[in-house]
Structure 1
Amino acid sequence: MKNRIPFLFVCLLFRFHSFAQPSVKEAPAGFDIEKSGIPHGKIDTVSYSSKTVGTVRKALVYTPPGFSSRNKYSVLYLLHGIGGDEKEWFYNGKPQIILDNLYAEGKLAPMIVVMPNGRAMKDDRATGNIMAQDKVQAFATFEQDLLNDLMPFIEKKFPVLQDREHRAIAGLSMGGGQSLNFGLGNLDKFAWVGGFSSAPNTKSPQQLLPDPEAAKAKLKLLWISCGDKDNLISFSKRTHDYLFEKEVPHIYYIEPGVHDFKVWKNGLFMFSQFLFKPVDASSFPGYTILGTPATTNVRSANYPQVFPDNRVVFRVKAPDARQVQVDLGRKYDMVKDAEGFWNVVTDSMGEGFHYYSLLIDGVALADPASETFYGMGRMASGIEIPFRDGSYYAVRDVPHGDIRMKRYFSAVTNSWRRFYIYTPPGYDKSADAYPALYLLHGGGEDERGWASQGRTDLIMDNLIAAGKAKPMLVVMMDGNMGMGGGFTEQVLRAFENELKLAVIPFVENNFRLAKGPANRALAGLSMGGIQTLYAGIKNTDLFGYLGVFSSGWLPAQQSISDAQYSYIKNNLPGIQSNLKLLWIAMGGKEDIAYNNCKNMLSKFDDLSLKYSYNEYPGGHTWPVWRNNLFSFTPLLFK
């Protein structure tokens, strides 16, 4: 071996440099090119007896610059892909060059790297049909070969530390799946686990981590990386999504690329620098080059992208524009690149759904890369930020109901109108009569709001499947009366008539509904909450349940609210007798309706009107209202 230097010098480098996590987010140019004038490690082939396979097997072992049998080393087991063997990394990945260069810069903790053959069978060559069942099975069998044969051999032959804190496993493609399967399945053996472009052999997240709390306690680092154009990225993302939901610290690293060694070499460069050092898990969300395309993007659109720390990258092509901004309530100035694309990275955004627009030379437009939603009084773009507690509106393997659109002619408005209606699983095959919730949108929205932005069908599907809510129909009507505003006495009265004289009769004539106030509920958000107050409290002979989300009488509506308070005072015994539940919810003090609501509740207290109150922090936003629906519907029709 050439240019060997004393191990003491390596230790000094480690002492002064290696306790820092990587300061870069991708490998620099030349990271995999051999440099002269620096110390080099050594790669040897070793043979070990495998009782698992019943033969002698081979592996490559990299020992670092200054290697000495008088010292103890940590170990990284580095696994190949389905078409490779123990030499795949050596020939294509240049690990010895990558690691030598990192050692020379003082960026690695001393370790040896073992590159085994992960195909645990007697004929372990990558020949013939590499996808044959016996060869694929051999990759699973390797777990026993690794744990029972190879690791004991390495720990006997080399001066290595033999505790889990000094043992890591990582691999590419099939080897990435093995690393996640074996590493997370043996947390008593490995504290550092990395999967590069992990293949379909990767177990489901629930199988990988049936006990997330144990993983949190034992793992030093869990690394998941992939190229953004890799067809196998879904296996990495499903693992990341589960880890995110269960709050298991990890790095989800996405970079430009496909399923090749450009990506995997960069993965080794980044992953190896974390190993066997103190780590700061709070910094993990920052270690990625690209974000994940938002779920609200149109099909195949790469942008907007959401980073793990909830920053968002927006990108739009407008080569002739003079100024482009993203309007998310706060306006972000975008910067044009040489190709005519405008780009910006936002601050970390709140979880859940947000409306946004592009402002191109001052004109508000929908982003062509985003799905559009009717909100803010017009069609706008929307972006969904991953929500750790949002599993209640995730698509799950449960029976699903339908959302249907129905047109009806309204004698109240003398026009054709429409509503959306959720029917629960099994509705068409059942003869049962169902209770109904009439659910109202906010100002600037319409009947599509709860059906689309609100995720009503998924919330109801999951609640019903869990036995937490009764099967019910949910009617999402249009609360816009076309009379120049939603808050005057005239407009509120027109809404009340539309609800009572047009919508309810049509629904009850065309769907199987149980009749009477005990089987009807009325609820709404913001403007819909005011409509619920106006039409609900006066009609407790129609509605036994009322839900008011992020709402309260406005100061400008004092004459209407005073009339309602007077009505409550004069009819309190009948209201209390008829009304099974008045449920009022706010989005915390940051909700713009908070003070109006508190003033209204103080009047209710003076009148001795019974109600239940709930706060879910988040402001005047869809994440709050989704949670309101999730919390309110289990209380209905008991």
Structure 2
Amino acid sequence: MNYKSLVIIVLSIATIEVSIAQVNATVVDDFKISATTQEGKQYPQVNSQGMLRVQITAPEAKSVKLDIGGKKYDLVKDSKGVWTGESAPQDEGFHYYQLNIDGADVPDPGSMYYYGASRWGSGIEVPAKDQDFYALKNVAHGQVREHIYFSKINNTMRRCFVYTPPGYDGSNKRYPVLYLQHGGGENETGWSSQGHANLIMDNLIAEGKATPFIIVMDNGTWTRPVQSAAVTQEQREKGEWPPKGWADQFSKTLIGEIIPMIDATYRTVAKQSHRAMAGLSMGGMQTRVITLANPDIFAYVGMFSGGSINADDIKNAPQFKEKTKLLFVSYGSHELDNRREGFGGDPKANTESLQKEGLKTHFYISPSTAHEWQSWRRSLNEFAPLIFK
């Protein structure tokens, strides 16, 4: 090795060390246990910058990484075999994450577990400036009930979770119903666990901002056709994804079994004018397909990060405009910033154009969030006060 090469190597090492020092210098060391940390555990933690810190004992491991937000961060091992490391700052709200130990993706044993990304895994709650609207408070609370049933359409046992508002028990009052759907890779636990839908409603009702109503959260998961597993971005933008008929099975289950079961079991107002459907991401796309095809069943429609409805859709479903009392569409601001062309056009422009044609619409943008739970929590918080008035 010549002198010039040695100098380059030394300078490179020095540059790396300086870069690491600069990164470390920017970390505010005020980490605290997260709301998603298991009781009795010290990690995961989060700081005022929204950085996640994890720690795990794995003395035999050769490499441990923190995987969050589509990026992996190397953890550092100490002399006792304890690995510790941090992520870059994350948006406010809830995020899925996992650890990668010697190439194997595993949940963090210190975190509570949530179903997302088609698996049970770890989650972190980055405190939000507006977290008060879903905080657990000393107000009257409703209940989230697990409702198990047999589906003849699917020939299997299923379950849904049903939120009943404060005062439901011990009264004879009947309530409107919102059918609220999760996103892709999630299930019927999402809205009450990650989304805090029940706490959002409890707080809105306590403040007199929303009409009390029942929420039904079922499993809308569908199986991709084998030939569509490798769908491309180009296919998505051309409108070739999801494939035709992808929501048919859940639509049959919802309309043929779930709604009649809820109306027969709970004190509902079994009328179109007292029924709403909404969902996030995939659930928003299901909401779009199902409500356009069934305007005589749903009066209120909410699509959170799940596309939009345009003038052509209305032409093909003429009763939708006549019978729909509200079309609510929302996105996180970062989603709109990074939105590609396609996907049925500009959702804000589509929604506003329908308003001009006489359909009551509302377009909401969640500030400084992307395709994530904080966008959808805020969306529900904005949507709920507008329905069943």
TM class by smaller structure = 0.7 to 0.9
**Are residue 433 (structure 1) and residue 184 (structure 2) matched?**
no
Amino acid at match of 2:110: A
Q: Which runs of 5+ in 2 are unaligned?
A: 1-25, 230-240
2:315 maps to: 569
Amino acid at match of 2:252: N
1:473 to 214, 231, 240: 214
User: 3-state DSSP class of the match of 1:451?
Assistant: helix
Are the equivalent residues in 2 in contact too, given 1:550–1:593 (CA < 8 A)? no
1:43 maps to: none
Amino acid at match of 1:336: K
Q: How does 1:349-498 map to 2 (within 5 A)?
A: 349-482=90-223, 484=225, 487-498=242-253
What is the Cα deviation at residue 567 of structure 1? 5.5
Amino acid at match of 2:195: G
Larger radius of gyration: 1
**Are residue 616 (structure 1) and residue 366 (structure 2) matched?**
yes
Are the equivalent residues in 1 in contact too, given 2:66–2:86 (CA < 8 A)? no
1:296 to 28, 36, 52: 36
Q: How does 1:188-587 map to 2 (within 5 A)?
A: 288=29, 291-328=31-68, 329-482=70-223, 484=225, 487-552=242-307, 568-572=314-318, 574-587=319-332
What is the Cα deviation at residue 601 of structure 1? 5.6
Are the equivalent residues in 1 in contact too, given 2:348–2:363 (CA < 8 A)? no
1:152 maps to: none
Amino acid at match of 1:621: E
Amino acid at match of 2:371: H
Q: How does 1:127-146 map to 2 (within 5 A)?
A: none
Using the size of structure 1 for normalisation, the TM-score is: 0.51
Identity %: 39
Counterpart CA distance in 1 for 2:110 and 2:67 is 15
Are the equivalent residues in 2 in contact too, given 1:400–1:425 (CA < 8 A)? yes
1:599 to 340, 346, 355: 346
1:633 to 361, 364, 384: 384
Counterpart CA distance in 2 for 1:631 and 1:404 is 24
What is the Cα deviation at residue 489 of structure 1? 2.4
Are the equivalent residues in 1 in contact too, given 2:66–2:87 (CA < 8 A)? no
Counterpart CA distance in 1 for 2:214 and 2:350 is 33
* Inter-CA distance 409–344: structure 2 relative to 1 (3 Å threshold): same
Runs in 1 of length 4+ with deviation above 6 angstroms? none
Counterpart CA distance in 2 for 1:297 and 1:480 is 28
Counterpart CA distance in 2 for 1:440 and 1:635 is 18
Q: How does 1:68-87 map to 2 (within 5 A)?
A: none
What is the Cα deviation at residue 503 of structure 1? 0.8
How many residue pairs get matched? Answer: 343
Counterpart CA distance in 1 for 2:383 and 2:242 is 24
What is the Cα deviation at residue 488 of structure 1? 2.5
1:194 maps to: none
User: 3-state DSSP class of the match of 2:246?
Assistant: helix
* Inter-CA distance 628–600: structure 2 relative to 1 (3 Å threshold): closer
Counterpart CA distance in 2 for 1:458 and 1:506 is 25
Q: Which runs of 5+ in 1 are unaligned?
A: 1-284, 554-560
Are the equivalent residues in 2 in contact too, given 1:286–1:308 (CA < 8 A)? no
What is the Cα deviation at residue 602 of structure 1? 4.9
What is the Cα deviation at residue 429 of structure 1? 1.0
* Inter-CA distance 382–567: structure 2 relative to 1 (3 Å threshold): closer
1:12 maps to: none
* Inter-CA distance 287–482: structure 2 relative to 1 (3 Å threshold): closer
Counterpart CA distance in 1 for 2:264 and 2:242 is 30
User: 3-state DSSP class of the match of 1:358?
Assistant: strand
The one-character-per-residue Cα deviations of 1:388-442 (angstroms, maximum 9, x if unpaired) are 1110000111001111111111122111111111111111111111000000000
Counterpart CA distance in 2 for 1:435 and 1:511 is 10
